[in-house]
Amino acid sequence: MNSVVKGASYVLVHAPDMLVKNGTTQTTERIVNPNSEYLKTLGKHLRSYDDAVAYLPNQVYIGNLDPVELRKHEQPWYGTKFEDAARYGRFGEIMPQAEFYFLIQACDEFELVRLEKGFVGEYKDAFFASPVVTDLIRNRIHDGVDAEQLEKILKEDGEGLYLGDRLVGAVKKAHDVDLALSSHVLLENLVSKASHVLSLLHLVDKAGISPAEVDYVIDCSEEACGDMNQRGGGNFAKASAEIAGFSNATGIDTRGFCASPVHALTIAASLVKAGTYKNVVVSAGGSTAKLGMNGKDHIKKDMPLVEDVIGGFAVWIGEDDGKNPIIDLDHVGRHTVGTGSSPQAVITSLVSDPLQKAGLKITDIDIYSPEMQNPDCTKPAGAGDVPVANLKMIAALGVKQGILERKDINDFVEKHGVPGFAPTQGHIPSGVPFIGYGREALLNGAVNRIMIVGKGSLFLGRLTNLFDGVSFMMLPNEGKVEETGKASGEELRKIVAESLRGFAKSLLSEDQDE
Whether residue 508 is contained in a domain is answered as no
Residue pLDDT, tens place only, 477-489: 999 765 544 444 4
Strands 216-219 and 250-253 come out as parallel
Q: 164 vs 44, 94, 110, 161, 191, CA distance in Å?
A: 12, 19, 27, 10, 18
With 90 as the cut, is the pLDDT of residue 252 above it?
yes
Average pLDDT, the chain: 94
* DSSP H or E run through 11: strand 3-14
Residue 500 lies in a domain: no
Alpha-carbon distances of 112 from 92, 103, 180, 223, 436, rounded to whole Å: 28, 13, 14, 19, 36
- CATH number assigned to the domain comprising residue 432: 3.40.47
State the DSSP string of 214-278.
--EEEE--S----BTTBTT---HHHHHHHHHT-TT-EEEE---GGGHHHHHHHHHHHHHHHTS-S
Nearest to 172 by CA among 149, 195, 191, 193: 149
| pLDDT confidence of residue 466 | 94
What is the predicted pLDDT for the residue at 122? 98
CA dist 72 → 66, 68, 233, 247 (Å): 11, 8, 46, 45
Decide if 233 contacts 226 (C-beta within 8 A).
Answer: yes
| Cβ atoms < 10 Å from Cβ of 71 | 11
Strand segments, DSSP code E, in 335-424 are 367-369
**Which tens digits make up the pLDDT trace of 41-60?**
999 999 999 999 999 999 99
Specify if 514 maps to a domain: no
Mean pLDDT, residues 182-204:
98
pTM: 0.93
- Confidence class of residue 311 from pLDDT cuts 50, 70 and 90? very high
pLDDT of residue 482: 55
CB 199 within 8 Å of CB 9: yes
Structural domain contains residue 494: no
Is the pLDDT confidence value at 315 over 90? yes
Domain around 46: 3-475
Give the pairing type, strands 166-171 and 250-253: unpaired
The verdict on residue 224 lying in a domain is yes
Q: What is the pLDDT of residue 341?
A: 87
If pLDDT is split at 50, 70 and 90, which confidence band does 10 have?
very high
289 domain residue, yes or no: yes
Q: How many domains is the chain built from?
A: 1
Range name among 83-87, 125-129, 338-342, 406-410 with the lowest pLDDT average: 338-342
10, part of any domain:
yes
Mapping DSSP to helix (H, G, I), strand (E, B) and coil, where does residue 343 land? helix
- Three-state DSSP class for 456? strand
Q: CA–CA separation, 126 vs 133, rounded Å?
A: 11
Beta-ladder partners of 474: 327, 450
In a domain, 506, yes or no: no
